[in-house]
Amino acid sequence: MLTLALILHVILGLIAVGASYAAVMLLLKRTIASRWLTWSAGTAFLAYLLSWLTGGYYYVVYYGFSVKPIIKAGAYPWAHGVVMEVKEHIFLFLPVLAFLVFLATLLPHELETDSMFRRSILLLSVIVFVLGLAIALGGIIVSGAVR
């Protein structure tokens, strides 16, 4: 169950980052494929949410008691002290940002006609993607410290 939770956390996180990337790519095109954009943003939001839940389950049930002490006592205590703490805190608002992007994609006319609005949503999407990517890479660093 715990292994499944960890695997799902990673897979869902990957899907979320990939979908965020797709949303950024679609917003950069001259003409917006609004259906694809909505699907991408919606998938990203849902996947971030589910990754959050599975990661949270793993953290509360196992990581906190069994993995964290190993990391803190090992050669790379900063992997928890810095990287994991950053992951935890960024994830407080990342799904919210992803939801905002998704909401914006439900206004295709405004995205097509209002360039300021489109640029703002593009910037927000880029932030979501970059943060998601940073969290994914942070996960590799945390996992690598478990020895």
Name the one range near other proteins by CB under 8 A: 4-12, 34-42, 44-52, 80-88: 4-12
Task: Indicate the DSSP class of residue 93.
Answer: H
What whole-number distance in Å separates Cα of residue 20 and Cα of residue 43?
8
Q: Which is nearer to other proteins, 3 or 115 (CB)?
A: 3
Per CB under 8 A, the list member of 5, 6, 12, 101 interacting with other proteins is 6
Measured CA distances, 83 to 4, 26, 67, 77, 142 (Å): 23, 31, 14, 10, 7
Please identify, using beta-carbon distances, which residue of 111 and 145 lies nearer to other proteins. 145
- Looking at the Cβ atoms of 109 and 147, the one nearer to other proteins is 147
Comparing CB distances to other proteins, the nearer of 77 and 96 is: 77
Interatomic CA distance for residues 95 and 67, integer angstroms: 25
Please, which of residues 69-128 interact with other proteins by CB under 8 A?
none
Decide if residue 59 touches other proteins (CB under 8 A): no
Q: Which of residues 12-41 bind other proteins (CB under 8 A)?
A: 14, 18, 21, 24-25, 28-29
Q: Are 132 and 13 in contact (CB under 8 A)?
A: yes
Nearest Cα residue to 95 out of 131, 48, 129, 50: 48
Rg, the chain, Cα only: 17
Which residues lie near other proteins (CB under 8 A)? 3, 6-7, 10, 14, 18, 21, 24-25, 28-29, 133, 136-137, 140-141, 143-147
